[in-house]
Amino acid sequence: MCVMTIEGWNVVSDVVGHIVWPLLVATLIFAFRKPIYAFISDAEEAGWGSATVKRGNQRSRNLKQETAPHRDDAVEERDPVSTQHGVAASSGDPDPLVEDATPTPDRTIRFYGRIVIDRLRRSKYNTDTTSARLGAEIVGTTYADLKQAVRLIAFLVGSTSGQRGPLAGVEPTLDALSLPDDLAADIREARKLAIDVTERTAKVDGQGAADYIDSVRALIERLVEWGVSQAPKVG
């Protein structure tokens, strides 16, 4: 009968320890990966990451200056889409978009523009944050509104079909729309910034996200104006 000596037990204990502890540490890291990631992200924002946020905020500010130079941060103006096409909204007269509900392409574009612009206006209430993670979420959802507006207007003006299958990307849709060069360039710049923020090669906090919302609002206003002028006339 073989009896293991104390030295043998020590060797076995050491071997088991070398195997078990790394496995335990790896298991704990995997189990708490989200809190650890959040902690690292917060540390980046508080430390050297703040410089990245400043650069991202500046990109967002530059985009706003290009697309919405006259928007006043301190004063929330009325929805330009509804005031242009439904001036009666503030005077007590019937709103033509409500009174005449015939779903023509131009009225659909105007109505959709009003819905999205109102949602973007409300989104600014959530931008009082210094978190780059929240900033990225806001930019991502805001760009999704812009992307959807581009696709809808392209469909309603007849630039794309409604056939089944995957939706065309923004780039081919912009090419099919033949937008004015400055509007297409601004949309592409907004798209690039959103992709960079989503992929974390650029960061913005609440201020950068708010400027991005203003930029997208201005772009959608311009898209709506262009789409109405290009929509097929009915009746």
The CA-atom distances, in angstroms, between 79 and each of 50, 85, 100 are: 34, 10, 20
Q: What are phi and psi of 223, to 5 degrees?
A: -60, -45
The CA-atom distances, in angstroms, between 28 and each of 34, 45, 74, 117, 232 are: 11, 25, 48, 45, 61
Count other C-beta atoms under 10 Å from residue 65's C-beta.
12
Opening angle at CA 92, ends 86 and 93, nearest 5: 55
Whole-prediction pTM value?
0.69
Q: How far apart are the first and last CA of the chain?
A: 103
Per domain, the residue ranges of the chain are: 50-230
C-alpha–C-alpha distance, residues 153 and 111, integer Å: 12
Opening angle at CA 182, ends 78 and 194, nearest 5: 75
Count other C-beta atoms under 10 Å from residue 133's C-beta.
15
Q: What is the pLDDT tens value at each position of the chain, 235 positions in all?
A: 455 565 655 655 665 566 666 666 777 777 766 666 655 555 555 544 577 888 899 999 999 998 876 555 443 444 444 444 433 344 444 454 454 567 889 999 999 999 999 999 999 988 888 888 889 999 999 999 999 999 999 999 987 665 544 556 788 888 888 899 999 999 999 999 999 999 889 999 999 999 999 999 999 999 999 999 999 877 6
